[in-house]
Amino acid sequence: MAKMYLNRAIAAAVAEEMARDERVFLLGEDIINCGGGLSTYLGVPEKFPDRCLDMPIAEAGYTYFGVGAAVAGLRPIVDLMFSDFATICSDAISNGSAKVAFSTQGKCGCPIVFVMANGGRGTYGNFGSGCHHSQCVESWFQNVPGLKVVAPYYPADVKGLLKASIRDDDPVIFLFHEGSTGVSGIVPDEEYVIPLTNAANILQEGDDITIVAIQSMVPIAVKAVETLKKSGINAELIDPRVLIPLDEKKIIDSVRKTGKLVVVQEAPRRGSFGGEIVSTVVEKLNGQNISVKRLGSLNAPIGNGMVEYFLVPKEEDIVNAVKELCQK
């Protein structure tokens, strides 16, 4: 077991998979000299110079290049730097990679991973990057059949799930949190792969209420759970880690037990994945008396600097939402 920063966990996962499978290659902007725009691939180009490609600032072009390579039998990792830039190449992702297996009646797959930083640096009080570099995009892709969406927070989860994503035969949107590249954690030394199915992690067991925290909200929810204990409220905290396919069973079983659910996310509430979780729970537990609440950022574009921090949910927002439901 070793302590590792999140960006180093990404680099380790990619290097290990490139060593394991010669079909895996990496492409994106600033890969060779900078190790990626956010230093997430440091050391990888030196180990695999023939399979690391620097691309021009033309995401729509090189993303489709990656899709073609995947169709041809390779396993590309396409780095898009910020998740906001996924709009530029959304055709390659949503109309290209997602449709391959269906359009070929399963004769051809598209094993490609789109890696991108999700959310903003301002989430935890740092200086934010503004409205073109800080958005959360998980809900943008949830309505596209054929895509898988992975959104871990901790370094060990990032490494284990990225390795599984690279090995997967379907296109995967792999989101790491932009404000968490410097977060450190214990990562297993041995081969470590986390399957994309049944991937939700119950971080804290409890009987009074269920909290589902998506990606950047996980550490904030952990603090809220500790605060709630002081008030005699034992919350069960779940980190989904993989959004598609969602581990519905763990979440539904938890809400069936507690009867109350708070979902917290960095993305705005409207049209969010948090709303999808709530809808799923309400449908599956139809007839059971349950109370639900969604928390998310304010419905506004993200300003530069410290503005971002004031838009996103805080520990006290989670605590207040839980207490409100527990008093009903």
pLDDT in tens, 213-266: 999 999 999 999 999 999 999 999 999 999 999 999 999 999 999 999 999 999
- CATH 3.40.50.970 domain residues, the chain: 2-187
Label residue 122 exposed, middle or buried (CB < 10 Å: 0-12, 13-18, 19+). buried
Residue 96, Ramachandran bin (φ over 0: left; ψ between -120 and 50: alpha; else beta): alpha
Q: Calculate the CA 230 to chain-centre distance.
A: 31
Q: What is the pLDDT of residue 87?
A: 93
Cβ atoms of residues 211 and 225 within 8 Å? yes
Tokens of 313: 């949910």
190 vs 217: CA distance, rounded Å: 28
Cβ atoms of residues 40 and 79 within 8 Å? yes
The β-bridge relationship of strands 209-213 and 242-244 is unpaired
- Catalytic positions, written as ranges: 59, 133
221 vs 190: CA distance, rounded Å: 29
The whole-number average pLDDT for the span 103-111 is 93
52 vs 156: CA distance, rounded Å: 24
Using CA atoms of 97, 99, 103, 104 in order, give the dihedral in degrees to the nearest 10: 40
Could you count the other beta carbons within 10 Å of the beta carbon of residue 303?
15
- CATH 3.40.50.920 domain residues, the chain: 201-326
Of the listed ranges 81-85, 118-122, 153-157, the one predicted with least confidence: 118-122
Cα angle value 161/238/299 (rounded, 5°)? 90
pLDDT in tens, 130-160: 778 879 999 999 999 999 999 999 999 999 9
Q: What is the pLDDT of residue 146?
A: 97
279 vs 115: CA distance, rounded Å: 28
201-326: in CATH 3.90.1150.10:
no
Task: Report helix angle 155-167 to 6-20, nearest 10.
Answer: 30
Give the CATH architecture of domain 2-187. Answer: 3-Layer(aba) Sandwich (3.40)
Q: What is the pLDDT of residue 127?
A: 74
pLDDT in tens, 162-173: 999 999 999 999
Residue 191 has pLDDT above 80, yes or no: yes
**Kind and range of the H or E element at 4?**
strand 2-5
Cβ atoms of residues 93 and 147 within 8 Å? yes
For residue 163, the one-letter residue type is K
Label residue 289 exposed, middle or buried (CB < 10 Å: 0-12, 13-18, 19+). exposed
| DSSP structural state of residue 302 | P
Residue positions counted in the chain:
328
pLDDT band at 291 (very low <50, low <70, confident <90, very high): very high
184 vs 155: CA distance, rounded Å: 7
pLDDT band at 48 (very low <50, low <70, confident <90, very high): very high
